[in-house]
Amino acid sequence: MSGAAQGPALWRQLQVGAGVLAAIRAGSSGTAVLDGVPGPLRPGVQALVYAALRELGRAEALRKLLAPRKPSPAVDALLCLALALAWRDEGAPYEAHTLVNQAVEAAKRGESTRAQAGFVNACLRRFLRERADLVAQTDADPVAQWNHPRWWIERLQREAPEHWQAILDANNRQAPMTLRVNVSKITVADFQGRLRAAGITAWRNGEQGLTLAAPLPVQQIPGFVQGLVSVQDGAAQLAAPLLLRGLAHQPGLRVLDACAAPGGKTAHLLELSDAEVTALDIDPLRCQRITDNLERLGLQARVQAADAGRPEAWWDGRPFDAILLDAPCTASGIVRRHPDVRWLRRESDVAQLAAQQARLLQTLWPLLKPGGRLLYCTCSVFRAEGEEQVLAFLAHNTGARLLPSPGHLWPTLGRKGDAVTDNQLSDHDGFYYALLEKGAG
């Protein structure tokens, strides 16, 4: 990003971005708030807000030094947005003086900040004068250092003592764009050749995955509209192959995708098999997204708006051969794609969501045929939503057996262009997988 970049004025992007940040801090989803930003402003505002969310812990620590008495939410959001973007030169979208000048201009032009524009100016000018000293004063604060809530850092230190720093570091990086090739229509090698012919660099990432060297609008990806590829993280691409291993060509295979929206895993199941797939989601609008994705790919499933936890409302009584339970979770494994998640979650959410996951496991298990399989997964790095959840289920369900499974996958940063000769994952989000088999007796 350059200070000379064309488009909406930087002060306007900062003004709108501060409003987005204030809404997120008040509890709104970043995706939902950004959807309400006018089209021409949205790309620039999203880039600024996401960059700031990845540095918000440092920004809040700096703001406390500059203004110990917390200002109004609108002023605080503008200050923290500017501080997050300007506190260090490495990776900054604009030069620090430019950011400060434009943030002050944003304050002067905003209804909710105009009266405090002088205060904003004084804080940010002091920051420019004393930046090195102020940053040094915040270095000992783990929230400033790692840009995650304290409870999140401490939980990972306990649960993943050998990996917690790498997890947090990965979370603070922007995720790449990874594609899943629809192998029912084209091979991965052939599609990679199409990309190469279009001047697009990509490398293998898993069995059906290709990671782009630089993200693109989907309309610019050759074959996307025709259903040759979908956008899906490498770790999420493991679900369908794991569940279908040895089952894909079984006649009359019946599969349930219990929490299916937006439909990526549903589509992958259908790309790899001739199964009869039932796809559920509790939200009718999200069900429409499943349908839209399947239509683009030329695939069909039975899509229902229903609560997977209340099968009496939707189940026809015929047991399934396989069930995919991608359970609601903290989304703590996909923070690099959704940097607002870390600031929206509360520690109490972990136990509440774990209880919901346990109920879904117990409710869906009877819907599985003897000898059938259930794949439990979450995009979480917390053990309460992964290993602990499954161990508790196995302890109370002696007819269940844990098959070879990946378990916890920590978010991993791949090195661009690395050769992966055996198609292993080279860059992926955090996930948990456990494949459970139901006893025949």
Band of the pLDDT at 249, cuts 50, 70, 90?
Answer: confident
Residue 287 appears among annotated catalytic residues: no
Query: Does residue 350 form part of some domain?
Result: yes
Q: What is the DSSP letter of 242?
A: H
Angle, to 10 degrees, between the axis of helix 73-86 and the axis of helix 42-53? 80
Instruction: Please answer whether residues 379 and 333 qualify as being in contact, where contact means their C-beta atoms are separated by less than 8 angstroms.
Output: yes
- Quote the domain boundaries for residue 108: 10-147
> 106 Cβ partners below 8 Å, 6+ apart?
11, 12, 14, 15, 18, 78, 113
The mean pLDDT value for 168-187 works out to 96
Burial zone of 21 (CB within 10 Å; 0-12 exposed, 13-18 middle, 19+ buried): buried
Question: Could you tell me the CA-to-CA distances from 42 to 16, 17, 91, 174, 263 in Å, in that order?
Answer: 9, 9, 20, 18, 25
Instruction: Please answer whether residues 302 and 311 qualify as being in contact, where contact means their C-beta atoms are separated by less than 8 angstroms.
Output: no
User: Residues 187, 294: one domain?
Assistant: yes
User: Residues 214, 253: one domain?
Assistant: yes
Q: Are strands 229-231 and 209-212 parallel, antiparallel or unpaired?
A: unpaired
pLDDT over threshold 90, residue 420? no
The mean pLDDT value for 367-381 works out to 97
pLDDT over threshold 70, residue 252? yes
Query: Does residue 169 form part of some domain?
Result: no
pLDDT at 437: 97
Full strand arrangement of the beta sheet holding 254-257: 302-305, 276-281, 254-257, 320-326, 368-378, 431-438, 400-409
Could you tell me the CATH number of the domain that includes residue 274? 3.40.50.150
Could you tell me the CATH number of the domain that includes residue 108? 1.10.940.10
Question: Could you tell me the CA-to-CA distances from 27 to 226, 242, 277, 372 in Å, in that order?
Answer: 38, 35, 35, 40
pLDDT at 424: 74
The mean pLDDT value for 293-306 works out to 96
- Greatest alpha-carbon pair distance for the chain in Å reads 75
Give tens-digit pLDDT for 178-215.
Answer: 999 999 999 999 999 999 999 999 999 999 999 999 99
State the DSSP H helix or E strand holding residue 279, giving kind and residue range, or none if neither: strand 276-281
pLDDT at 440: 79
Which residue do the tokens 């840009």 mark? 147
- The dihedral sign for the CA sequence 54, 57, 58, 59: positive
User: Residues 190, 142: one domain?
Assistant: no
**Beta pairing partners, 276:** 254
The mean pLDDT value for 227-233 works out to 98
The mean pLDDT value for 397-411 works out to 96
User: Residues 356, 309: one domain?
Assistant: yes
What is the DSSP code string of 383-441? GGGTHHHHHHHHHH-TTEEEEEEEEEE--BPPPTT---TT----SB--EEEEEEEE---
pTM across the whole model: 0.93
Give tens-digit pLDDT for 318-335.
Answer: 999 999 999 999 999 999
User: Residues 130, 192: one domain?
Assistant: no
Range of lowest pLDDT (54-58, 210-214, 414-418, 436-440): 414-418
CB atoms within 10 A of CB 285: 9
The mean pLDDT value for 418-434 works out to 77
Query: Does residue 170 form part of some domain?
Result: no
pLDDT at 412: 85
Selected catalytic residue, list 80, 287, 329, 379: 379
Structural domain count, the chain = 2
pLDDT at 441: 63
Over the chain, what is the mean pLDDT? Answer: 95
Question: Could you tell me the CA-to-CA distances from 130 to 59, 66, 127, 133 in Å, in that order?
Answer: 14, 10, 5, 6
User: Residues 143, 252: one domain?
Assistant: no
Nearest to 326 by CA among 235, 209, 228: 235
